[in-house]
Amino acid sequence: MKLDQDCVRDLLLELESKLSFNQPIFIDDFKELETVSSYGYEISVYALLKMIEAKFVNANVTYAGDEIYQLAISSLTWDGHQFLDTIRDHEVWKETKAATKKLSSVSLSIIATLATEFLKKKLGL
């Protein structure tokens, strides 16, 4: 399955706004997120699992067979906040996506590097 970069960004933005200290987001809450409604459950869960692998979010996932049985998203990690801060600005995100559009796929680290360069340019650094 292909990782939807827009879904990753939108999930990070929404999780940041919805998560509270000691108030995790559970599977039923996750299914109700606007991002999940927009992209669909499968694409959103895949993005979330990759964000967990990338250590962008702290979460516990329990499986029953191939299905997610329990999910508890507790917080964004330091790396998750850093990545989100790099791609948060809509114009920076738009430029980053335009720059990567020519390629069939681009890693999150490359996206972060490009976004950082566009952000520096925007700030005149």
Cβ distance 27 to 71 under 8 Å? yes
pLDDT of residue 107: 76
pLDDT at 31: 95
Please check the confidence at residue 118 and state whether its pLDDT lies above 90.
no
What confidence score (pLDDT) does residue 39 get?
98
DSSP secondary structure string for all residues of 13-44:
HHHHHH-BTTB-EEHHHHHTSHHHHHH-HHHH
Name residue 47's amino acid.
A
Over 90: is that where the pLDDT of 119 sits?
no
Co-location of 66 and 102 in the same domain:
no
Domain count across the chain? 2
Identify the residue with better confidence: 105 or 113. Answer: 113
- pLDDT band of 55, cuts 50, 70, 90: very high
Question: Do 71 and 30 touch, CB atoms closer than 8 A?
Answer: yes
Whether the per-residue pLDDT at 116 is higher than 90: the answer is no
Query: Does 10 share its domain with 56?
Result: yes
Please report the pLDDT score of residue 43 as a whole number.
96
pLDDT digits over 56-78, tens only?
Answer: 999 998 888 888 889 999 999 99
- Residues 16 and 52 grouped into a single domain: yes
- Mean pLDDT for all residues in the chain: 89
Q: Which domain holds residue 23?
A: 5-76
Please check the confidence at residue 2 and state whether its pLDDT lies above 90.
Answer: no
